[in-house]
Amino acid sequence: MPRHLMNPLDFSVEELDRLFSLAANIEKEPERYAHICDGKKLATCFYEPSTRTRLSFEAAMLNLGGNVLGFSDAGSSSAAKGESVSDTIRVISCYADICAIRHPKEGAAYVAASKSSIPVINAGDGGHQHPTQTLTDLLTIKSLKGDLNNFTIGMCGDLKFGRTVHSLINALSRYSGIKFIFISPVELKVPDYITEMLKDKGITYEEVEKLEDVMPDLDILYMTRVQRERFFNEEDYVRLKNFYILTKEKMELAKPDMLVLHPLPRVNEISVEVDDDPRAVYFKQAQYGVYVRMALIMTLLGLAD
Ligand code: CP
């Protein structure tokens, strides 16, 4: 049976450590890995828009010497004619060695994995999970802070629909000394099933509305976009879209070594003047996404050893 990645918890903490070590080696000596995937093919099946995830997967496979095929829009695939995800993945399994799939419906990647004879990677399913973004976030934190334990992490913005947030909370809840501060308007609070999980595990969290009040406490600030595509009505989106804007003035309240992460794309929630602050690492984070996806492709294809 092929091994899939649907949720960051599919990998144990020890497996993640090995993955991050491999990604660090790839960053140091990329030429050593330039032919590891010669003759292999990655299919990217994206039913929802993407820049980073799709292109970093494709860059990752090309960096490893492999090839890529796929579609970036459901409208240009036979989904537009009514083909199911199950049928599509059975066909893709005949053409490629590994597949990354993004879909607007929660659970679509699980359906694909259940019918696939090749490894399937969940590249984002609706408002549910985005495990490879989480691998990117964890590698960024580990590389720049040297550890994944003992942090106060603020998560700000759309915590209700934000799949990157849901995946990252799941993943960080396995490390020790983690405290979460959830910063959101009441309408975009983190779902109850997540806060229940944190209570069950005895993990400390706070929920606040004002970013300025907690800035001095944070080791990491994870900003997110209010996602127009997840709202049921435009009026709510317009009311909430500019609720948070991280500015230079707000950064003055933060610790000198606090990191600002953002899965991107950004709209208005981080002012461009913050980009020059050395604590703003969201573009570096996008680069780490290539190294970790290279390590992941090698691992799922059984080529990591
Ligand atoms: N972070 C992220 O998932 O970006 P894209 O939507 O551009 O892939």
Tens digit of pLDDT for each residue in 40-81? 999 999 999 999 999 999 999 999 999 999 999 999 999 999
Ligand 1 center from residue 202 Cα (angstroms): 31
Kindly list the domain boundaries of the chain, sorted by start residue: 8-130+289-300, 132-285
Residue 263 CA, closest ligand 1 atom number: 1
The dihedral through the CA atoms of 180, 183, 188, 192 has a sign that is positive
Residue 278, preceding bond cis, omega within 30 degrees?
no
d(Cα 206, Cα 156) in Å, to the nearest integer? 12
**Residue tagged 């828009």 (tokens):** 49
Is residue 227 over pLDDT 80? no
Q: What percent of the chain has pLDDT over 70?
A: 99
**Taking a C-beta distance cutoff of 8 angstroms, is the pair 292, 135 a contact?**
yes
Q: For ligand 1, atom 5, which residue shows the shortest CA distance?
A: 50
Tens digit of pLDDT for each residue in 18-33? 999 999 999 999 999 9
Is residue 237 over pLDDT 90? no
Q: For ligand 1, atom 3, which residue shows the shortest CA distance?
A: 53
Q: Into which CATH architecture does domain 132-285 fall?
A: 3-Layer(aba) Sandwich (3.40)
Is residue 241 over pLDDT 90? no
Tens digit of pLDDT for each residue in 149-186? 999 999 999 999 889 999 999 999 999 999 999 999 99
Q: How high is the pLDDT of residue 243?
A: 86
- Region class of 284: left (phi > 0), else alpha (psi between -120 and 50), else beta: alpha
Query: Count of CB atoms within 10 A of residue 13's CB?
Result: 11
Is residue 236 over pLDDT 90? no
Is residue 228 over pLDDT 90? no
Ligand 1 center from residue 265 Cα (angstroms): 6
Main-chain phi, psi angles of 264, to 5 degrees: 65, 155
d(Cα 169, Cα 131) in Å, to the nearest integer? 11
Ligand 1 center from residue 123 Cα (angstroms): 9
Name all residues whose Cβ lies below 6 A of ligand 1: 50-53, 124, 133, 263-265
Mutate to test the pocket of ligand 1, among 45, 51, 54, 121 (most ligand atoms within 8 A of CB): 51
Ligand 1 center from residue 89 Cα (angstroms): 22
Amino acid at 177: G
Is residue 232 over pLDDT 80? no
Mutate to test the pocket of ligand 1, among 52, 128, 137 (most ligand atoms within 8 A of CB): 52
Ligand 1 center from residue 247 Cα (angstroms): 23
Answer yes or no: same fold for 8-130+289-300 and 132-285: yes
The CATH topology of domain 8-130+289-300 is Rossmann fold (3.40.50)
Tens digit of pLDDT for each residue in 248-303? 999 999 999 999 999 999 999 999 999 999 999 999 999 999 999 999 999 999 99
